[in-house]
């Protein structure tokens, strides 16, 4: 175990250290400007060359403020402006707008890195995947946990049999949304923009997708319950949500999430021989606790905040593009998350267990 920990931050996925991918960033909210942009600028294989916003003036102003060469409007992007200045797009708009920018990027022969969840509904996510496949452009969904070192090492341990046979999973993700963004009219609470709901789409997806990545097992059935009591959550069903999944191999998983609770994230996987506990898991500095028999080890790397996690994600994407390598969290992978989330909401609405369509 000690030898494994020594390589904690190794990029086992990396195939090249040469080349640069130039990005156009679409949707200039706080995550894009405060996390994604500095992550790319500190990365090994990327640079930001274009900013895209609803307002040409805003795009130009922010480009000047952040030292980016070009700022253009959404309309100009769809018209192909500055297309020679970038190789790939990062789509960071509200969920319901992802499709239109991915379609244009595919038409312009640009690779697409699309934030999760990949769209507002399964139907629109399917169209997004089909557009990129028809245009033969790479599509990756931005699951930053896939390149988080703690999660990567957990994946290696599981593959090596550290857990024995997986038995159960418990994942939780919550945050006080209205304290973070004190606006009841924000897009995450608007079903026309966010999609099926507020908590599972934005937070529960972390537990679901990270478990899929770690175990390489898919959810088969789900039974869910949701509540929305606060007036700000009146248009969405899941201020709080809980789900019981059965995964392939009869692994049981409980996932809970809330947009109106104290910030807390963790993911615990228990097997017949060991246990892996990520806490905090999805926000903040991910720590890894390993237990097997009477031995336990905790690994903490305080330097891996969200920006550094995103840096790893962007370098992974660039590595895949530059080396013409296979992308793991591709469009089909992200589309399955959308099918799972749809089933979660359907189960809560019907009050009964729902089967999940296979990959």
What pTM was estimated for this model as a whole?
A: 0.96
Name the residue with higher pLDDT: 325 or 9: 325
What is the per-residue pLDDT for 283? 87
Residue 303: band (very low, low, confident or very high) from pLDDT cuts 50, 70, 90: low
Looking at residues 190-197, what average pLDDT do you find?
Answer: 98
More confident residue, 305 or 73: 73
CATH 3.40.50.300 fits 8-142, yes or no: no
pLDDT at 205 over 90: yes
Q: What is the pLDDT of residue 349?
A: 98
pLDDT band at 300 (very low <50, low <70, confident <90, very high): confident
- Helix, strand, coil share (%) of the chain residues, nearest 5: 40, 25, 30
Tens of pLDDT, residue by residue over 109-154, are 999 999 999 999 999 999 999 999 999 999 999 999 999 989 999 9
- Binned at pLDDT 50, 70 and 90, residue 302 comes out as low
List helix spans (H) across the chain: 2-6, 30-31, 37-41, 56-65, 74-78, 98-107, 122-134, 149-159, 177-180, 191-194, 199, 205-215, 306-322, 331-350
Q: Is there a contact between 28 and 53 (Cβ–Cβ < 8 Å)?
A: yes
- The angle formed by the CA atoms of residues 119, 124 and 127, to the nearest 5 degrees, is 120
Residue 278 tokens read as: 């990520």
Q: How confident is the model at residue 284 (pLDDT cuts 50, 70, 90)?
A: confident
Matching residue, tokens 């703690």: 150
Residue 217, number of CB atoms within 10 A of its CB: 17
Contacts of 3 by beta carbon, 8 Å cutoff, 6+ apart: none
CATH number of 145-293+329-355: 3.30.360.10
Instruction: Return the pLDDT at 142.
Output: 98
State the average pLDDT over residues 302-312: 85
Mean pLDDT along residues 203-225: 98
Average pLDDT of the residues of the chain: 95
pLDDT at 313 over 90: yes
Share of the chain above pLDDT 90, in %: 91
Q: How far apart are CA 269 and CA 245, in angstroms?
A: 14
Domain spans in the chain, listed from the N-terminal domain onward: 8-142, 145-293+329-355
């Amino acid at each position: 175990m000690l030898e494994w920990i020594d390589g904690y931050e190794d990029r086992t996925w990396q195939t090249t250290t040469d080349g640069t991918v130039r990005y156009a960033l679409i949707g200039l909210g706080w995550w894009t400007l405060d996390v994604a942009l500095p992550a790319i600028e500190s990365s090994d294989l990327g640079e930001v060359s274009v900013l895209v916003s609803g307002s040409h003036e805003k795009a130009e102003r922010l480009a000047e403020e952040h030292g980016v060469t070009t700022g253009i409007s959404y309309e100009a992007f769809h018209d192909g402006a500055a297309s020679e200045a970038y190789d790939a797009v990062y789509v960071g708009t509200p969920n319901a707008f992802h499709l239109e920018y991915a379609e244009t990027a595919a038409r312009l022969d640009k690779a697409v890195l699309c934030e999760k969840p990949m769209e507002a509904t399964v139907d629109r996510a399917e169209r997004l995947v089909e557009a990129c496949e028809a245009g033969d452009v790479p599509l990756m969904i931005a699951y930053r946990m896939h390149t988080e070192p703690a999660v990567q090492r957990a994946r290696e341990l599981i593959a090596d049999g550290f857990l024995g046979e997986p038995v159960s999973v418990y994942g939780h993700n919550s945050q006080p949304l209205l304290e973070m963004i004190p606006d009841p009219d924000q897009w995450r609470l608007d079903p026309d923009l966010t999609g099926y709901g507020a908590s599972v789409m934005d937070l529960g997806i972390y537990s679901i997708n990270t478990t899929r990545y770690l175990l390489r097992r898919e959810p088969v059935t789900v039974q869910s319950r949701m509540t929305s009591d606060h007036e700000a959550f009146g248009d969405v069903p899941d201020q709080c949500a809980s789900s019981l999944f059965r995964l392939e191999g009869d692994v049981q998983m409980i996932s809970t999430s809330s947009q109106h609770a104290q910030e807390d994230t963790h993911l615990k996987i228990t097997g017949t021989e060991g246990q892996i506990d990520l806490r905090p898991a999805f926000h903040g500095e991910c720590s890894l606790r390993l237990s097997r028999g009477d031995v336990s080890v905790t690994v903490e790397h305080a330097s891996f905040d969200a920006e550094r996690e995103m840096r790893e994600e962007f370098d992974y994407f660039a590595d895949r593009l530059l080396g013409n390598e296979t992308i793991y969290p591709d469009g089909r992978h992200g589309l399955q998350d959308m099918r799972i989330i749809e089933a979660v909401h359907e189960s809560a609405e019907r009050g009964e267990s729902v089967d999940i369509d296979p990959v």
